[in-house]
Chain A
Amino acid sequence: KNEVEQSPQNLTAQEGEFITINCSYSVGISALHWLQQHPGGGIVSLFMLSSGKKKHGRLIATINIQEKHSSLHITASHPRDSAVYICAVKQETSGSRLTFGEGTQLTVNP
């Protein structure tokens, strides 16, 4: 079992739909990151969370430390949101390294 699991692995939506991507982890963490990766491109950091909720534009990230669960929401989705979304955690016991989930491939159709 991976220490960081994401669901769904693949998600297809129509433009304008509300999207949720989930991340569950099984280890103690000091921070959780949501990252975006476009095909052939590098990784862009979207959020770093240790508690509560953060919002940036149409993106919202929440985390529940007790339940070891985080969600990334995209409101009013757009085809340019199509990318791989990756959840990564900084474990309490592993110093500074990140442990990554396998990513969620999001496709938003016009």
Chain B
Amino acid sequence: GAGVSQTPSNKVTEKGKYVELRCDPISGHTALYWYRQSLGQGPEFLIYFQGTGAADDSGLPNDRFFAVRPEGSVSTLKIQRTERGDSAVYLCASSRGLTYGYTFGSGTRLTVV
């Protein structure tokens, strides 16, 4: 596609539920990143994929968070047993590689009630 697409744009879920957030990167971008942005703060790194593999998952806050990119394109961020503190905007970005710039999606606003 022309840009990075994230769905849904908004998600409201009850505490304890499971959610999946989807990111469809620009075609041909091998690098894909997930960031989380809380209100009034800059984004924080969660995980980075190079192709199908998670090259760096050190930003995932705990084992409730998991992400996959099985075919090296679309990625899904999965959050189990959601907590109110998980409420944030989840941003996805893709890039052609280490020396290239990033293209960000519009984010998914997750609200856990």
Chain A residues close to B by CB (< 8 Å): 4, 31, 33, 35, 41-45, 48, 86, 88, 94-103
Contact = CB atoms under 8 A, between A and B. Distances in A.
A10 B50 CA distance: 36
Interface of B: 4, 31, 33, 35, 40-45, 48, 50, 55-56, 59, 91, 93, 95, 98-99, 101-107
Interface SS of chain A = strand
A95 B104 contact: no
B107 A45 contact: no
Interface centre among B43, B99, B105 (most CB of A within 10 A): B43
A43 B31 CA distance: 17
Nearest to A87: B42
B43 A100 contact: yes
A4 B66 CA distance: 27
A102 B101 contact: no
